[in-house]
Amino acid sequence: MRLIIATACAVLMAAPMAIADEAENYIKYRQAVMKAIGGHMGASSQIVRGRVSPEGALGMHADALARLNADLASLFPEGSDFGETKARAEIWDDWQAFVARADEARDATAAFAEAVSTGDGDAIRTAQRAVGQSCKGCHKDYRIKDD
């Protein structure tokens, strides 16, 4: 009987730690995805501005951006609002507004990928600017600024 009670207590005490570990892992995962988004955005900017012209790379970057932004809100699960993160509390305080902003990023990156597939330079530049504005808007409201 004591073994059963001791085991039950150990399991119950470990559950909050497991949840915290999972949240910490989501924070690390989220940060890695955001770095990937930044990398693809920076690389695609170099191409769109005509600074480099690697064959076929713009489509790859645009597709990666669309895929990485397909469900951005899922990177911010409840309970991942602590520790080494630049995510502001406003994300969870007004979840629906944050989801709407994440959906804007999804739509902007999908439109960018579509524009790239057409090969229309003006449409590509316009769509990429919209992606940049979407990123800036979300960061303005939901990301703690660097010192």
Annotation: CATH topology of 2-142: Four Helix Bundle (Hemerythrin (Met), subunit A) (1.20.120)
Burial class (CB in 10 A: 0-12, 13-18, 19+), 127: buried
Asked if residue 134 has pLDDT above 80, the reply is: yes
Stretch 107-128: mean pLDDT: 98
pLDDT of residue 4: 57
pLDDT of residue 146: 81
CA distance 113 to 123: 11
CA distance 7 to 66: 46
Query: Taking CA 62 as the corner, what is the angle to CA 25 and CA 111, rounded to the nearest 5 degrees?
Result: 105
Looking at per-residue pLDDT, the higher value among 11 and 94 belongs to 94
CA distance 7 to 141: 45
pTM score of the predicted model: 0.84
Say which range, 2-6, 13-17, 103-107, has the weakest mean pLDDT.
Answer: 13-17
pLDDT of residue 23: 81
pLDDT of residue 3: 53
pLDDT of residue 9: 44
CA distance 8 to 2: 10
- Cβ pair 36, 64 in contact under 8 A: yes
How would DSSP label each residue in 107-147?
HHHHHHHHHHHHT-HHHHHHHHHHHHHHHHHHHHHHBPPP-
Q: Where are the domains of the chain?
A: 2-142
Q: Nearest Cα to 66, choosing from 91, 94, 95, 41? A: 41
